[in-house]
Structure 1
Amino acid sequence: MKKNITIRDVAKEAELSIATVSRYLNGKGYVSQKAEIKIRDVMNRLDFKPNEIARSLSNKKTNTIALIIPDILNPFFPELVVAIEGVAKERGYSLVLINTQEEFLHSSGFWRSLESRYIDGLILASFQFTEEVQKGMENIKLPFVTIDRAAGENNNNSIGIDNYKGAKMAVEHLIEVGCKNIVHISGPKTYPSSSDRLLGYIDAMKERFPDQKAFFYEGNFSLESGYDLTKQLIIENKGYDGIFLANDFMAIGAIKALKEMKVNVPEEMAIIGFDGIKLTEMVDPEISTIKQPIYALGAKATTRLINIIEKKENQNLYSKLEVRLMKKESTLGFKKNKGESTFD
C-alpha cells in the first residue's frame, strides 16, 4: 500500500524545516530560491500532492464564488449562470449555485450556513435588497455584487439595466404597430426593476395618450401570474389591444391564456415582454421583447467581484447597462386598428 506523503516527509527529505515548506506551499513569507528548488525537486520525486482544501482553508481563500438566485426554472437564470461560470473559470474560480426563496435570506441561519461553505465572494440576483439582507451579507464580511432585481442606484457594487428606458421602448413599439389601449402586467412593486418598468409604462402612455388612464395588474414574474392575470383582464373586457408584460416568462403565460380564450395573437392582441430569453423564440408566435444583455450582465458582475476579491478593484458605484428592442411576430402582425390613426 502506497504511503501518504506529508509535508513532514517533504521537509525531512529536503533537509528544511516544516515551516519553510509550509511558507512555500502557501505562498506566504520568505523562502530562498535555493530552498524553493530543493522543495520542488523533493515534491516531484515523492509525488507529493498538497491537500488543496487544507491549503485553501489555511489561506482563507478557496477560489470559489456563489451565485444566489430565486428560481432556476426561469430561463433567465440559466443564461446568467453560463456567463458567470464561464468568466469565473477563466479567472481560476469555481461557482456554487444557490437556489433559494427570498424569505430564507431574512434568516440569520441562512447566512451562517453560507459562511460555512468557505466562499470568497457572492453575487446576489433578483432579490429585494432589504435591510435584513444587507445586514446578513455584511455580517459574513464577504465581497458581493448585486445584479438584476437586487440592483439599486444607491448601492455600491450594483449592476443593473435601464428598466425605465426599456419599458418606454416597449410601450412606444406597441403604439407604433397600432395599439391604442395598452395594459401593463408588472412585477412586484417592491422591486426597483418592477417600479422602474411601471413608471416607464405610465410615462410613455401619458406622452402619447394624455387623456387616457394607464392600467396595470401586479404580477410576480412567474409564468402562472402572466397566465392568470391575462385571463382576468380579458374577462373584465376593458377593450385592451396591447399587453406589456414585465418579463418574458409572464409573456409566455399570457400567450397560453389568450390562445385558450380564442384571442388571436398578434392580430387582435399585441404582446411584448422583457428580458430577451431564448425561449421567446420557441413559442408560437415568437414574442417581441426588450432584450437585456444577460451575458454581459453576468460577465461584468463576475469580473468586478473577482477583482474586488483579489484587491485589483475598489468598490464601485452602480453601473447601468443598455437594453434593445427585439421586434417579433407577437407585435408585428397586429391588425386590429390597421388603417386607423394611432391617436384619438
Structure 2
Amino acid sequence: MVTIRDVAKYANVSVATVSRVLNNKGQVSEETKRNVREAIEHLKYRPNLVARTLYKKTSSMIGLIVPDITNPFFPALARTVEDRARSYGYTVILCNTDGSTEKEADYISSLQQKGIDGIIISTNRSEADDFKDIDIPLVALDRIVNSEIPTVTAENKNGAIKATKHLIDVGCQKVVHIQGPRELATTNDRKDGFLEVVQEADIEHVVVEADFDIKVAEETAYQLLQEQTNIDGFFAGSDVIALGIIKAAHRLGLNIPEDLQIVGFDGIEMGKIFIPSLTTIEQPIYEMGALAVDLLSQQIEKKELDKHLYEFPINLVIGNTTKR
C-alpha cells in the first residue's frame, strides 16, 4: 500500500510538506504543491481517513437523514445534496428512517459516534427536544423543527393558496384537500393555505389526512369519491398523494380533468411522465438541497449564518390534470 512517505520520496520533499499540501495548511510554493499532487496522482495515494479524522477533528463526511427513500421527492433531494456536497469534498451518508423516530434517533447517535461533520435532516418528528443534545452542525431540510435549527424549505402556505385558487379558477365547486401527516409543520402550512382560500371563496370543501404514500392516498380518495359523488377537485398535500388520487379516479371510471381536477405539491419528475401529466406546485428541489449543504458547510467552518429560516418561492406548473 502506498504511504505518505512514498509520496514524499517521489516528490523529493519531506513528509511534513506532503501533510501541509494534503491539509492545505502552512506555506508551500505552488511548484511544490504541483509536484506533490502529481506524485499523489501517479502513485494513486489515498490518505488514511481515520487518521485524518483524529488529527483534523473532521471526517469529510456528512449525514443525510430522510423519512422515506421510496417517496420520489427524497431521492431527488438526496441527489442534489450529494452533488453539492462533492463540490465541498464531503461524502454523504444516506440514512432512511421509514418514518420511525426510533430509527432516526439511532442514526443520529451512530453518525455522531462515527465523527460525522454535520447532519442534514428531513424529519417526521414534531417534537424537537432530542435535537437539543446534538453537538454537531445541523440543518433541517423541507421540514421545520424549531427556530434554533437552520432550516431550508419552500413557501408552503403560498403554494397551497396558488393551488387552491387555480382549482377554483378552473371551475371546481367542491374541493378536497388530502393532507400529509398532521404533525408536520409543512403539512399544516399547506392545509392553512387551502382553508384560507376556500373559506374566503365560500367553496364547499373537505380536509382529510393520509400518509405520503400512493396506496394510502388511493384508498383514501377512492372512499371519498364513492361516498361524495359531487367532488370535482383535489388539492393533494404532495405529488405522491396526487398520483394516488389519479389511480382512484381511474378505478371509478372518472375522466381527468373533465370529471375531476387535481393539483399536487412538489414537482417530482414522476408527475411529469405520468398520464395525465400532473398540475403541481413545484418546489426548487435543487436549490433547496444545495443551500442546505451550503449552510451546513458554513457551520462546520464556524461561520455565522445570516438567518435561520430560508423559504424558497414556488411555481404553479400546469399539466393535464386541470383544465386550461
What range describes the TM-score normalised by the shorter chain of this pair? 0.7 to 0.9
CA shift, 1:24, in A, is 3.9
| Structure 2 equivalent of residue 125 of structure 1 | 122
5+ residue gaps, structure 2 = none
Conserved 8 A contact 1:5-1:48: no
Q: TM-score, length-normalised on structure 2?
A: 0.86
Residue by residue over 1:102-160, the C-alpha shift from the partner in whole angstroms, topping out at 9 and shown as x without a partner, is 3245775433222233321110014224234414xx33x11010011x22573431111
| Structure 2 equivalent of residue 166 of structure 1 | 159
Rounded to whole Å, the distance in 2 between the matches of 1:44 and 1:286 is 53
Conserved 8 A contact 1:184-1:244: yes
Rounded to whole Å, the distance in 1 between the matches of 2:233 and 2:150 is 37
Residue by residue over 1:267-324, the C-alpha shift from the partner in whole angstroms, topping out at 9 and shown as x without a partner, is 0111111101111111111110011111111011111111211224437321111111
| Structure 1 equivalent of residue 265 of structure 2 | 274
Conserved 8 A contact 2:119-2:296: yes
Conserved 8 A contact 2:212-2:240: yes
The 5 A counterparts of 1:167-246 are 167-209=160-202, 212-246=203-237
Paired positions, count? 318
Task: Tell me the amino acid that sits aligned with residue 314 of structure 1.
Answer: L
| Structure 2 equivalent of residue 146 of structure 1 | 140
Task: Tell me the amino acid that sits aligned with residue 136 of structure 2.
Answer: L
CA shift, 1:207, in A, is 1.1
Task: Tell me the amino acid that sits aligned with residue 322 of structure 1.
Answer: P
Task: Tell me the amino acid that sits aligned with residue 108 of structure 2.
Answer: W
Q: Secondary structure of 2:176's partner? A: strand
Rounded to whole Å, the distance in 2 between the matches of 1:32 and 1:255 is 63
Q: Secondary structure of 2:65's partner? A: strand
| Structure 1 equivalent of residue 67 of structure 2 | 70
Task: Tell me the amino acid that sits aligned with residue 145 of structure 1.
Answer: V
Residue by residue over 1:197-254, the C-alpha shift from the partner in whole angstroms, topping out at 9 and shown as x without a partner, is 1111111001111xx5531110111111210111011121251110111000011111
Q: Compute the RMSD of aligned alpha carbons.
A: 3.2
| Structure 1 equivalent of residue 47 of structure 2 | 51
Conserved 8 A contact 2:20-2:28: no
CA shift, 1:50, in A, is 6.5
| Structure 1 equivalent of residue 255 of structure 2 | 264
Rounded to whole Å, the distance in 2 between the matches of 1:143 and 1:177 is 46
> Aligned pair in 2 of structure 1 residues 8, 151: CA closer, same or farther (>3 Å)?
same
CA shift, 1:33, in A, is 6.5
> Aligned pair in 2 of structure 1 residues 303, 236: CA closer, same or farther (>3 Å)?
same
> Aligned pair in 2 of structure 1 residues 9, 76: CA closer, same or farther (>3 Å)?
closer
> Aligned pair in 2 of structure 1 residues 92, 224: CA closer, same or farther (>3 Å)?
same
5+ residue gaps, structure 1 = 334-344
Identity %: 30
Residue by residue over 1:4-52, the C-alpha shift from the partner in whole angstroms, topping out at 9 and shown as x without a partner, is 65659979xx998x8x6797477599x7869x97xx88x9599694633
Rounded to whole Å, the distance in 2 between the matches of 1:176 and 1:291 is 19
Task: Tell me the amino acid that sits aligned with residue 77 of structure 1.
Answer: F
Rounded to whole Å, the distance in 2 between the matches of 1:82 and 1:198 is 28
- Structure showing greater Rg: 1
Conserved 8 A contact 2:120-2:141: yes
Q: TM-score, length-normalised on structure 1?
A: 0.81
| Structure 2 equivalent of residue 309 of structure 1 | 300
Conserved 8 A contact 2:178-2:237: yes
Q: Secondary structure of 1:68's partner? A: strand
Rounded to whole Å, the distance in 2 between the matches of 1:21 and 1:226 is 60
The one of 274, 277, 289 aligned to 1:286: 277
Q: Secondary structure of 1:159's partner? A: strand
